[in-house]
Amino acid sequence: MNRFAGKVVLVTGAGRGIGKAIARRFAAEGAKLALLSDVEADLRQTADELAAEGVEAERYIVDVSDERRVEAAVAAAANRFGRIDVLVNNAGIAWEEPVLDIKPDRWKKIIDVNLNGMFWVAQATAKRMAEQGGGAIVNMASTNGLVGEAGYAHYNASKGGVVLLTKTMAVELGCKGIRVNAVCPGYIQTPMSEAIDDAEFVERYVRDKIPLGRVGRPEDVAGVFAFLASDDAAFITGETIVVDGGQLAF
């Protein structure tokens, strides 16, 4: 497939994990890439790997919770490539801690990155898309934005906000030719999840909760992002697609 030949795709959180897998998937389908992350070493490695494969990719170091830096990075990407056709709004963080132990700074940090940051990037990019006559935005939500999970009150709240932000933007921006959807992954094995969960927990989780009998891979999620951003999904907007191996089917 070459669905994104000549298209410009902006990916946040592109340095590792799901974001890196998504960037690689779009690159494989012909896209030019604007890669954003606040972790310079990871982002440089991703960009260098793609460049070595002949992919046109620019990197921008930015904390998505800083709206001024977001605006500057999106403007720079739009100026560099001339347009932005697709936004993959992926950047996010998570910690596990009981609701009674969450400190104000920890709550604020997760909301600032996962929800506020997603809004700043979406707003800045959508303004350019509206001027150019359309585009596609795919936000990273989570099954944790659809059901509660103990130990993740701040993360769950942020992802629940992403789900309704997605629907609202779809309603408002459809008339401008902009589609807005979200992906809700379940348990995906990434550097972030590996830092939280040990092997025993993962084995038990898979056995008890995932009908397909394995954790998800970043590539499982990347394909769904590519579909929702493509013309194959031209009449889909305001949707949240669950990618969880059947977990929420229980």
Active site residues: 155
Name the nearest CA neighbour of 149 among 96, 208, 215, 216.
96
Order of strands across the sheet that contains 8-12:
57-61, 32-37, 8-12, 86-89, 135-140, 178-185, 240-243
Separation CA 9–CA 26 (nearest Å) = 8
Half-sphere exposure of 132 (CA within 13 A, CB side): 19
Half-sphere exposure of 53 (CA within 13 A, CB side): 18
- Strand pairing report for 240-243 and 178-185: parallel
Strand, helix or coil for residue 94: coil
Strand, helix or coil for residue 165: helix
For residue 11, the cross-strand partners are 35, 88
